[in-house]
């Protein structure tokens, strides 16, 4: 069974825009009315975000919410096995990883992923699947390098690549100093990985793009444009 991850640089239902990106995620479940679980750990499980999710997916999916603050689900493996899609919201990547690991959700998600549950997320919910990423978890307005993500996917992730002023220049500096190849992904763009390989990028915005930032042998940093399919 194929394994799928969709990593969104920004947008989706939480921003009230780009519903076409969410449609791409739902289509990977290959069922008429997929079971979709929202995980809002990165922002502290606010009820307002849960409500946005439930409203956005009403009539399109059978919805549920997994909260780790005020947790109500005892058996994470059984709960996740009942899903077709897990959709992770944005916020603090650092906090998300710490809370997931404390509850063992990182391991339960891996088992669900291996069983074919589609994984998706925006911003911090995209960063988490990579080993390294850029994050403003430690200080808003910065884009520090983080190197202890889940590491399921190759390369690194930088969301909000051109929409937040610090993201692009700080990623270029990080890569110049040996951070490693990293995807720079604009709001409105999603990277689709199948079996841990990038198979495509999709965009719900006409001017949005994605690049792979790397360092040449001479030390120069390059931004290689990815082919993006417009939705």
* Domains in the chain: ranges and CATH: 4-230 (3.40.50.880)
pTM above 0.85, yes or no: yes
Task: Report the pLDDT value the prediction gives residue 12, as an integer from 0 to 100.
Answer: 84
Task: Report the pLDDT value the prediction gives residue 141, as an integer from 0 to 100.
Answer: 85
Residues known to be catalytic: 123, 160
Task: Report the pLDDT value the prediction gives residue 56, as an integer from 0 to 100.
Answer: 93
Task: Report the pLDDT value the prediction gives residue 82, as an integer from 0 to 100.
Answer: 97
Q: How far is CA 206 from CA 54, 73, 160, 209, in A?
A: 27, 40, 15, 9
Task: Report the pLDDT value the prediction gives residue 145, as an integer from 0 to 100.
Answer: 96
Task: Report the pLDDT value the prediction gives residue 15, as an integer from 0 to 100.
Answer: 77
pLDDT tens for the chain, 231 residues long, are 899 999 999 988 887 777 899 999 999 998 999 999 999 999 999 999 999 999 999 999 999 999 999 999 999 999 999 999 999 999 999 999 999 999 999 999 999 999 999 999 999 999 999 999 999 999 988 899 999 999 999 999 999 999 999 999 999 999 999 999 999 999 999 999 999 999 999 999 999 999 999 999 888 999 999 999 998
Task: Report the pLDDT value the prediction gives residue 227, as an integer from 0 to 100.
Answer: 94
């Amino acid at each position: 069974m194929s394994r799928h991850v969709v990593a969104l640089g920004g947008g989706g239902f939480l921003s009230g825009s780009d519903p076409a990106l969410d449609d791409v995620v739902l289509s990977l479940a290959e069922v008429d009315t997929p079971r979709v679980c929202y995980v809002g750990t990165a922002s502290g499980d606010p009820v307002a975000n849960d409500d946005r999710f439930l409203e956005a997916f009403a009539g399109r999916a059978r919805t549920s919410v997994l909260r780790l603050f005020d947790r109500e689900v005892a058996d994470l493996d059984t709960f996740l096995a009942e899903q077709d899609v897990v959709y992770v919201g944005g916020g603090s990547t650092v906090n998300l990883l710490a809370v997931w690991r404390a509850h063992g959700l990182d391991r339960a998600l891996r088992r669900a992923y291996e069983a074919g549950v589609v994984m998706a997320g925006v911003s911090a919910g995209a960063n988490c699947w990579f080993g390294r990423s850029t994050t403003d978890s430690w200080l808003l307005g910065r884009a520090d390098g983080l190197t202890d993500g889940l590491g399921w996917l190759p390369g690194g992730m930088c969301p909000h690549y051109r929409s937040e002023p610090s993201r692009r220049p700080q990623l270029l500096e990080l890569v110049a100093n040996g951070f490693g190849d990293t995807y720079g992904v604009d709001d409105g763009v999603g990277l689709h990985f199948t079996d841990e390989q990038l198979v495509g990028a999709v965009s719900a915005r006409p001017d949005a793009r994605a690049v792979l930032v790397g360092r040449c042998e001479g030390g120069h940093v390059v931004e290689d444009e990815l082919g993006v399919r417009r939705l």
